Chain A
């Protein structure tokens, strides 16, 4: 259980930090409400059903400070794409390209995000989400006016370079009717450094908006990543969320989607590759609030060493949300005696004319496939690596953007196929 004192110390740690929009009434209202919510619920603990498998002792044992703007001190790979760079949660304008009328920082766009800010969050958010709302200091804003297509791929890199930093970044994507965009979020950090990245992306998809959202998490192996992606979809919109978690000590992702207009389609793809002492907790929720929506969820997990993964996938079909088609798959591959996989797929169905299914498996590589490879002269180790790679790569193959897919395939090959890359 968390004591009131612990919670107070979190509030105190943020006291005196200058936040943008101190004179904006609607924002102050939301911040006050979020703070009240935080004081009510505090940081979650294993006694909370939604956190029963995720122990935050290590996270809570550190002290964190919210930095003011920092300047990038690491070198990023060259790119031809427009790229925003956030350092410890603050936009580094000098290092960024691609800022425009449609792509801005939260600080500069408070007038634009009024109404969207906070509109996608759950009614009773947990402590981290409440803290994020209360102390949101920056983030990117993509605002697409009707019929606008954001050319190419927008990359947003979040670099955590200061030890013991906490950031409460809030990103907002407002895609009005008939718009289209592809956004990649990357999370990287200085290896070995401890920090807390508390980040939320809100996506408001208008009628017939098409949004491809990628989240590639490669934090420091000692870092804490508390992420949220909250999505509201209007009719005939299509949102694809790809959630790739490759490192970090404790990672939590809440990915919630409300299908609010008929004909909306949601796709959630997830890949977890765990090693060392990593703990990755993915909570997804698709809420079919109206008829005629579809959702497709596909999560895979590969766990080695002492790593542990948690998957909670909930599908809710509201009363009268007839003709819903919802599917969910969760497959886990355990490579080590000390790894643990916990999964909780959940269906809550209140309408009758629906097709909903979920499947979950935990197991090993197929022995006949292993035998086949070995009989072709491939040694056991390589055969294992190849099949593990193939298992994980099925998620990557669902990515439509060639460049992103190829890059992730390379990253995955580096993780799982060390020395055998030439085979693919």
Chain B
């Protein structure tokens, strides 16, 4: 942990695939980076740089003072050298944009995947256009989006911009779901976060399109400490996508984001993530330490929050997207695929806190471990006394590939109401020899067969993802598992 955090986060799958084939691909961006170190002065400088209102500086300093007194958590089933927080640079922004690629440079491998999935050519084109547009032609996409969005009354902008334009709204909700003292990394994030997205969906509005961080990150390069805040007013709906990739570096980089969701009465938020930070090489050198706090509050009655995540990257993943089901009849969902290969370690899961009456939650977690990877599901389902007729279904399945990896499950159930109905089941096994044999004798190669089985294993989660994302996720799994078979 010594190098400054330079933020090139290219949000594109093709870049990733290219990176897999052309070793050492890094986009050269000149950046404006603070020297490593963290004290109150650095926080003042971040705040000043962002020209933030006074309350933000206070908020940051309060969080920083809390953070100084907090112990670093050590309960997760992960193993990594101690992070030197003074060796990290806490602010970094690019001076110029990365070079844009042309539209027709679609990776043939990707087309192959589409073909394998049986998606017609026209649809492939369309889907590529969607993705490519979103990634490379950021300006126009952004303009189109802004127009359509503002017509609907949706606010979607970087949080630093929102702090200028609607500070009262941000002030009202920032830290209301994940308070500054929530945990070590959330406190650190509150103190130093550089940017992130702010989404506000007004009453009764169904957001006309899926919001995505793809283009946004390319444009403002938000750094390693992102803060996302999404507010869905009464009766509104939004689907939000988040994707992450990072270039290959030998040093470990720290990423500590906080995401807060607030769903009012009858509102629904769908939050999807495809996380593909650089996982480190096969010897565990380099890679991102991903310590993320994500929590949604179902504040109003009949509200719904749904988390879907595909975690294939990062050297260390420490992430528990949670739902606080406060409103009556509110619904929480968590769908997750986590893959660890080489020396990757993931400790991920969810918390479902049932407070309101007739609340229900669903947890589907699929863990895949290969190589020397360790994959842990850690989750909590808590039914409070007043949560009559709460319902939870949890399923955690693990797939093991290779005899040096590990799969672990640590679910917690705390039930204080007799009308609750909870079911939890977990299985761990390796890829069935029978299935493999069947596919191979139908002419599939070993790798293709394994990939097909893995995709089937993850299907329950993939089908929760928007179409383009589902395709990307499948491709990502394939790429990440390369070399895991045999």
Contact = CB atoms under 8 A, between A and B. Distances in A.
A284 B410 CA distance: 14
B420 A359 contact: no
A358 B408 contact: no
B403 A347 contact: no
B408 A339 contact: no
Interface in B111-143: none
Interface stretch (A98-106, A252-260, A261-269, A360-368): A360-368
Q: Tell me what chain A mostly uses at the interface: helix, strand, loop, or mixed.
A: strand
A408 interface: no
B426 interface: yes
B425 interface: yes
B413 A356 contact: no
A348 B421 contact: no
A353 B429 CA distance: 7
Interface residues of A, number: 36
Interface stretch (B31-39, B173-181, B394-402): B394-402
B424 A348 contact: no
B428 interface: yes
A322 B426 contact: no
Contacts of A334: 415, 417-418, 420
Interface residues of B, number: 36
B409 to A, nearest CB: 4
A363 B421 contact: yes
Interface string B379-413: 00001010000000000001011111111111111
Contacts of A348: 77, 406, 408
B425 A359 contact: yes
A343 B425 CA distance: 13
B427 interface: yes
Interface string B415-441: 111111111111111100000000000
B212 to A, nearest CB: 35
A356 B397 CA distance: 10
Contact of A360 (B75, B403, B413, B430): B413
Nearest to A320: B403
A355 B429 contact: yes
A352 B401 contact: yes
A364 B411 contact: no
Contacts of A57: none
B446 interface: no
Q: Tell me what chain B mostly uses at the interface: helix, strand, loop, or mixed.
A: strand
A341 to B, nearest CB: 5
B414 interface: yes
Contacts of A339: 418
A319 B403 contact: yes
Contact of A346 (B75, B404, B409, B423): B409
B406 A357 contact: no
Contacts of B425: 357-360
A362 B420 contact: yes
B413 A344 contact: yes
A26 interface: no
A319 B404 contact: yes
Contacts of A357: 425-428
Contacts of A191: none
A403 interface: no
A342 B406 contact: no
A363 B381 CA distance: 13
B412 A342 contact: yes
A53 B408 CA distance: 22
Contacts of A359: 423-426
A332 interface: yes
Nearest to B385: A337
Given A319-B403, A351-B403, A354-B429, A337 B413 contact: no
B422 A362 contact: yes
A223 interface: no
A78 B287 CA distance: 70
A352 B429 CA distance: 7
Contact of A352 (B400, B411, B421): B400
Contacts of B420: 334, 362-363
A332 B381 CA distance: 14
B41 to A, nearest CB: 35
A334 B402 CA distance: 41
Contacts of B430: 352-354
Contact of A349 (B407, B412, B422): B407
Nearest to A340: B416
Interface of A: 49, 53, 319-320, 322, 332, 334-337, 339-364
24 contacts: A322-B403, A334-B415, A334-B418, A337-B385, A340-B414, A340-B415, A341-B415, A344-B412, A345-B409, A345-B424, A346-B410, A347-B409, A348-B406, A349-B400, A349-B408, A351-B400, A352-B401, A352-B402, A352-B430, A358-B426, A359-B424, A360-B422, A361-B424, A362-B413
Given A334-B420, A339-B418, A344-B413, 19 more contacts: A53-B414, A334-B417, A337-B385, A342-B413, A342-B414, A345-B411, A345-B426, A349-B406, A349-B428, A351-B400, A352-B402, A355-B427, A357-B425, A358-B426, A359-B425, A360-B423, A361-B424, A362-B420, A363-B422
- Shortest Cβ-Cβ A-B pairs, 5 listed: A334-B418, A352-B400, A362-B422, A347-B409, A356-B428
